[in-house]
Chains A and B, each alone.
Chain A
Amino acid sequence: MENNSLFKPGHTACAGCGQAIAARLVIDAAGSNTIVVNNTGCLEVFSSQYPESAWNVPWIHSLFENAAAVASGVEAALVYLGKKETTNVIAQAGDGGTADIGLQALSGMWERGADILSICYDNEAYENTGIQRSGLTPYGTNTTTTPPGTKSIGNPRPKKPMPEIANAHGIPYVATASVGFPQDLQRKVKKAISIKGPKYIQIHVPCPLGWRHETELTYQIARLAVETGLYPLIEYENGKLVAVRKIAQPKPVEEYLRPQGRFKHLLNNPEELKQIQEIAENNIQKYNLKTEVTNEKSQTQILPNPK
Chain B
Amino acid sequence: MRQFLEGSRAVAEIVKLCKPGVISAYPITPQTHIVEELAQMVANGELNAQFVNVESEHSAASVVLGAVATGARAFTATSSQGLLYMAEVLFNISGLRLPLVLTCANRAISAPINIWNDLQDSISLRDSGWIQFYAENIQEVADLHLLAYRLGEDKSIMLPVMVCMDGYTLTHGMETVDIPTQEEIDKFLPSYKPLYKLDPAEPLTMGLLANPDYYLETRFAIQETFKDVLKMIPKISEEFKNRFARDYKDGLVEEYCTKDAEKVIVAMGSVCGTIKEVVDALRQKGKKVGLLKVISYRPFPYAKVDAALKDIPQVAVLDKAVSLGAYAPLAVEIKATFFGKRKSPKIISSFVAGLGGRDITFESVKEIFTKLNRKEVNLEFIDLKPELLKEEYGE
Interfacial residues, chain A to chain B (CB-CB below 8 A): 32-35, 37, 44-45, 48-51, 53, 55-63, 65-66, 68-81, 87, 104-105, 107-108, 111-112
Contact = CB atoms under 8 A, between A and B. Distances in A.
B207 A61 contact: yes
Given A72-B59, A77-B22, A77-B70, A51 B65 contact: no
B198 interface: yes
19 contacts: A35-B198, A45-B209, A48-B205, A58-B203, A58-B205, A60-B66, A63-B92, A70-B63, A70-B65, A73-B62, A73-B67, A76-B50, A77-B21, A77-B71, A81-B70, A87-B200, A105-B62, A108-B54, A108-B55
Given A58-B198, A66-B62, A73-B65, A105 B56 contact: yes
Nearest to B70: A77
B13 to A, nearest CB: 20
Nearest to B88: A63
B173 to A, nearest CB: 32
Nearest to A86: B200
A32 B198 CA distance: 12
A299 B67 CA distance: 43
B56 to A, nearest CB: 6
Interface string B88-128: 11001000100000000000000000000000000000000
B203 A50 contact: no
Interface size class of B (residues with CB under 8 A): 35 or more
Contact of A59 (B22, B48, B62, B203): B203
Contact of A77 (B48, B66, B203): B66
A78 B68 CA distance: 11
B63 A76 contact: yes
Given A72-B63, A76-B22, A105-B55, A62 B70 contact: no
Contacts of B70: 35, 73-74, 77-78, 81
A112 B72 contact: no
A49 B59 CA distance: 25
B208 A53 contact: yes
B208 A66 contact: no
Contacts of A77: 21-22, 50, 66-72, 74
A53 B200 CA distance: 15
Given A34-B200, A72-B54, A62 B207 contact: yes
A219 B85 CA distance: 41
A56 B208 contact: no
Interface string B61-85: 0111111111110100000000000
Contacts of B54: 69, 72, 108, 112
Contact of A73 (B52, B199, B208, B211): B52
Contacts of A58: 198-200, 202-206
Query: Which of A37, A60, A70: most chain B CB closer than 10 A?
Result: A70
A48 B68 CA distance: 21
Interface in B163-208: 198-200, 202-208
B55 A72 contact: no
Interface of B is mostly: mixed
A186 B275 CA distance: 67
A81 B22 CA distance: 10
Given A69-B54, A74-B66, A112-B53, A50 B208 contact: yes
A60 B55 CA distance: 22
Contacts of A50: 208-211, 214
B276 interface: no
B12 interface: no
Query: Which of B21, B59, B65: most chain A CB closer than 10 A?
Result: B59
A199 B60 CA distance: 21
Nearest to B72: A77
A58 B196 CA distance: 11
A66 B59 contact: yes
A88 B211 CA distance: 31
B320 interface: no
A73 to B, nearest CB: 3
B49 interface: yes
B67 A69 contact: no
Contacts of B48: 80
Given A48-B207, A48-B208, A69-B54, A63 B67 contact: no
A63 B198 CA distance: 17
A61 B24 CA distance: 19
Contacts of B62: 62-63, 66, 69-70, 72-73, 105
Contacts of A73: 22, 24, 52, 62-70, 74
B59 A69 contact: yes
Contact of A76 (B72, B203, B208): B72
A65 B58 contact: yes
A59 B209 CA distance: 13
Given A66-B62, A112-B52, A53 B67 contact: no
A35 B200 contact: yes
Given A53-B205, A60-B206, A63-B92, 17 more contacts: A32-B200, A37-B66, A50-B210, A53-B208, A55-B205, A58-B198, A58-B202, A63-B89, A69-B59, A69-B62, A69-B66, A73-B24, A73-B62, A77-B21, A104-B56, A108-B55, A108-B59
